[in-house]
Amino acid sequence: MNKLKIKEILKTGEPGAFIKISGWVRTRRGSKNVNFIALNDGSTIHNLQVVADTGKFEELLLREINTGAALTVEGTLTESKGSGQNVELMAEKIELLGKADPEKYPIQPKKHTLEFLRENAHLRFRTNTFGAVFRIRHAMAFAIHKYFNDKGFYYLHTPIVTASDAEGAGQMFRVTTLDAVKPPLTEEGKPDYSKDFFGRPTNLTVSGQLEGELGALALGEIYTFGPTFRAENSNTTRHLAEFWMIEPEMAFYDLKDNMDLAEEFLKYLISYALEHCSDDLNFLASRLQQEEKNKPQDQRSMDLVEKLEFVLNSDFVRITYTEAIDILKNSKPYKKNKFQFPVDWGVDLQSEHERYLVEKHFKCPVILTDYPKNIKAFYMKQNDDDKTVRAMDVLFPQIGEIIGGSQREENLEKLESRMKEMDIPTEEMWWYLDTRRFGTVVHSGFGLGFERFILFVTGMGNIRDVIAFPRTPKNAEF
Ligand code: 4AD
Ligand code: MG
């Protein structure tokens, strides 16, 4: 059964056609003779205008057609005199499926703040802004699968519950059974976790990379795309405790190949959005322009669509971490003591530094490579200088780090000795080291933070507004 959608009606609906359509009321404007109902079914940012002659319908029915109510309408399409739409629907029959009491329904037709809508995350899909964001998010997820499938990569499903700490940073959530919420004590008086996941301490995964490497070293090129979890207590507009990550992993790729893939991939997604999500992007762009109006001319940011086109047409700058530190140390904010965090060779870059490089210095996306080994994970390929590793971070305007990746250490001895240096248990990771024992090859991969990318594409300012149900230190109710 193919149900009719408003998107199709607005695009191809012929005046004279008799149709039946269901959706939710955005607004109703009534006059003595006629009611205009803006109906939306989620298929598009645009509403279908339903015209209901007052004489044709019960007064009570019309009065209950309030914002948020669900309707099925049957009627005839007619040419519309209103601007921006070809057709409207002359209602013959209206069925009120679900009422929405205007005294109680929170999403009224007025401008709600994003904070208010975050508190009403269960209903915010019904606003234009969140409709647009989640349609774009869907399109991007689809485009990711299309991109990799067309290139011959395999989608590998890596586990969510795992005993390994892929990033070695200890930022993991423990998985436990309800019985073990209050663990009994051992004879030594320590908590006894023997009931955890059948007697093994496990965590929610922080990354699918290590398992992805196992796949790549047999299937050639794979990617993961799933939820990942970080127990970092970061209350920022760029961090979630649960976020989705796309992690391609490729055999026979060195760092240069890895960078080329990352740049091509990001540009593919941006061009896909421009081609397939123009209505929603234009809506979000005009929403942002409204906000920008209050700012002085020289502080206004670029139009959303222009920004996407700009990144699409730019060559990403590729420099080393060491070069970036030099640039930062010669920058105005550094000299005027305007950076909040220190800049020196060896420190991890903060988003203020990343954004300076991208937004002020180069004015385009930047790929930084060859970071100090001490601020990066154990699995990255070590350079001959003994100080740096073949890491790459892709930095984007408005976001900072959007991708983190590297060439992997494929040499068993070097990998083992680095793990020992970093106190990572080599015995427990025998399965990972086996890939270096048997048929090891040069390989690379990276992780794209899906929500950070959606932030960039939609121009939204807070990561909590691009995932349906954000998990943050303060947010886990539903
Ligand atoms: O740089 P990260 O930690 O790298 C990894 O996890 C590697 N295993 C990836 C790989 O090489 N396969 O994370 C990768 C990306 C970051 O660049 C960022 O976009 C996103 O994941 N990310 C987060 N997004 C939202 N909230 C958080 N707490 C995030 N932490 C990382
Ligand atoms: Mg990183």
Q: Which two tokens stand for residue 76?
A: 């005839």
Please give the average per-residue pLDDT across 150-162, as a whole number.
Answer: 88
Distance 206 CA to ligand 1 centre (A): 8
Helix pair 450-458, 255-276: axis angle to 10 deg? 40
Residue 142 pLDDT more than 60?
yes
Residue ID of nearest Cα to ligand 1 atom 28: 239
For ligand 2, the distance from its centroid to the CA atom of residue 17, given in whole angstroms, is: 55
Which tokens in the block code for residue 328?
């930062």
Beta strands 366-372 and 317-320 are parallel
Q: List the residue whose alpha carbon is closest to atom 27 of ligand 1.
A: 239
Q: How far apart are CA 468 and CA 465, in angstroms?
A: 7
Counting atoms of ligand 1 from 1, which one is nearest the CA of 206? 6
Residue type, 269: L
Percentage of the chain lying above the pLDDT 90 cut:
81
Please compute the mean of the pLDDT values over residues 270-285 and round it to a whole number: 98
Going by C-beta distance under 8 Å and a sequence separation of 6 or more, which residues neighbour residue 208?
156, 158, 159, 166, 224, 226, 228, 245, 247
Residue-wise pLDDT for 182-205, tens only, equals: 677 889 988 777 777 787 777 889
Using an 8 Å Cβ cutoff, are 397 and 365 in contact?
A: yes
Rounded distance, CA 203 to CA 171, Å? 10
pLDDT score for 201? 72
- Report residue 181's pLDDT band, with 50, 70 and 90 as the boundaries: low
Among 48, 53, 56, which Cα is nearest to 17's? 48
Q: Is the pLDDT of residue 478 over 70?
A: no
Q: Do the strands 242-251 and 221-229 form a parallel or antiparallel pair, or are they unpaired?
A: antiparallel
pLDDT band at 180 (very low <50, low <70, confident <90, very high): low
Q: How far is CA 67 from CA 130, 138, 419, in A?
A: 16, 26, 59
Dihedral class, residue 111 (left if φ above 0, else alpha if ψ from -120 to 50, else beta): beta
Residue 375 CA to ligand 2 center (angstroms) comes to 10
Please answer whether residues 47 and 39 qualify as being in contact, where contact means their C-beta atoms are separated by less than 8 angstroms: yes
- Average pLDDT of the residues in 154-167: 82
Q: What is the DSSP letter of 336?
A: T
299 band by pLDDT with thresholds 50, 70 and 90: confident
Mean pLDDT, range 384-396, rounded to an integer: 98
Ligand index nearest the alpha carbon of residue 232: 1
Distance CA 438, CA 478 (A): 45
Cα R_g (the chain), whole angstroms: 27
Most confident of 23-32, 179-188, 227-236, 249-258: 249-258
- Model pLDDT, residue 30: 87
Ligand 1 probe mutation, 210, 243, 393, most atoms within 8 A of CB: 243
pLDDT confidence tier of residue 301, bands split at 50, 70 and 90:
confident
Distances (CA, A) of 421 to 374, 388, 411, 426: 10, 15, 16, 11
Length of the chain: 478
Whole-number Å distance, alpha carbon 134 to ligand 1 midpoint, is: 21
Q: Which amino acid, 59?
A: E
> DSSP code of 438?
S
Distance 420 CA to ligand 1 centre (A): 24
Ligand 1, CB within 6 Å, residue ranges:
166-167, 207, 209, 230, 232, 239-240, 243, 245, 247, 401-405, 445-447, 449, 451-452
What is the 394 CA–ligand 1 centroid distance (Å)?
Answer: 11
How many angstroms is it from 404 CA to the middle of ligand 2?
Answer: 5
User: From the centroid of its chain, how far is CA 249?
Assistant: 20
> Which residue has a Cα nearest atom 2 of ligand 1?
404
Q: Give the DSSP per-residue string, 23-47.
A: EEEEEEEE-SSEEEEEEE-SSSSSP
Mean pLDDT, the chain, integer: 93
Contacts of 18 (CB under 8 A, 6+ apart): 74, 75, 76, 77
| pLDDT greater than 90 at residue 167 | no
pLDDT above 70 covers what percent of the chain?
A: 97
Q: How many CB atoms lie within 10 A of CB 176?
A: 15
- Write the CB contacts of 380 (distance below 8 Å, at least 6 apart in sequence): 373, 389, 390, 391, 406, 407, 408, 409
DSSP-derived secondary structure letter, 358: I
> Measured from the CA of 209, which atom of ligand 1 is nearest?
12
Q: For position 476, what pLDDT does the model report?
A: 66
Write the residue with the smallest CA distance to atom 6 of ligand 1. 207
What pLDDT, on the 0 to 100 scale, is given for residue 363?
95
* Among the bound ligands, the one closest to the CA of 447: 1
Look at the pTM and tell me if it is higher than 0.90. Answer: yes
State the average pLDDT over residues 379-402.
Answer: 97
What pLDDT, on a 0 to 100 scale, did the predictor assign at position 179? 58
**Which residue has better confidence, 225 or 174?**
225
**Cβ neighbours of residue 263 under 8 Å, at least 6 residues apart?**
316, 365, 367, 394
Question: Given pLDDT bands bounded at 50, 70 and 90, which one contains residue 177?
Answer: low
What's the pLDDT tens digit per position in 327-369?
A: 999 999 999 999 999 999 999 999 999 999 999 999 999 999 9
Give the integer Cα–Cα distance in Å for 90 and 37.
10
Write out the residue limits of the CATH 3.30.930.10 domain(s) in the chain: 126-171+206-465
CATH fourth-level superfamily of 6-108: Nucleic acid-binding proteins (2.40.50.140)
Ligand 1, from 205, 206, 228, 245: best to mutate by most atoms within 8 Å of Cβ? 245
Q: pLDDT tens digits, residue range 81-135?
A: 876 678 999 999 999 999 999 999 999 988 899 999 999 999 999 999 999 999 9
Q: Is the ipTM of this complex over 0.90?
A: yes
- By DSSP bridging, strand 202-204 and strand 18-30 are unpaired
Neighbours of ion ligand 2 (CB under 5 A): 404
Residue-wise pLDDT for 398-452, tens only, equals 999 999 999 999 999 999 999 999 999 999 999 999 999 999 999 999 999 999 9
Q: What ranges in 46-173 are assigned the alpha helix state H?
A: 59-63, 114-119, 128-151
Which residue, by CA, sits nearest to atom 3 of ligand 1?
Answer: 404
Cα–Cα nearest to 212, from 250, 243, 245:
250
Structure tokens at 47: 């509403």
Distance 39 CA to ligand 2 centre (A): 44
What's the topology of domain 126-171+206-465?
A: BirA Bifunctional Protein; domain 2 (3.30.930)
In the chain, where does the domain assigned CATH 2.40.50.140 lie? 6-108
Residue 401 CA, closest ligand 1 atom number? 17
Beta sheet of 154-155, edge-to-edge order:
154-155, 221-229, 242-251, 443-449, 400-407, 388-396, 366-372, 317-320
48 three-class SS? strand
Quote the crossing angle between the two packed helices 255-276 and 304-312, to the nearest 10°: 140
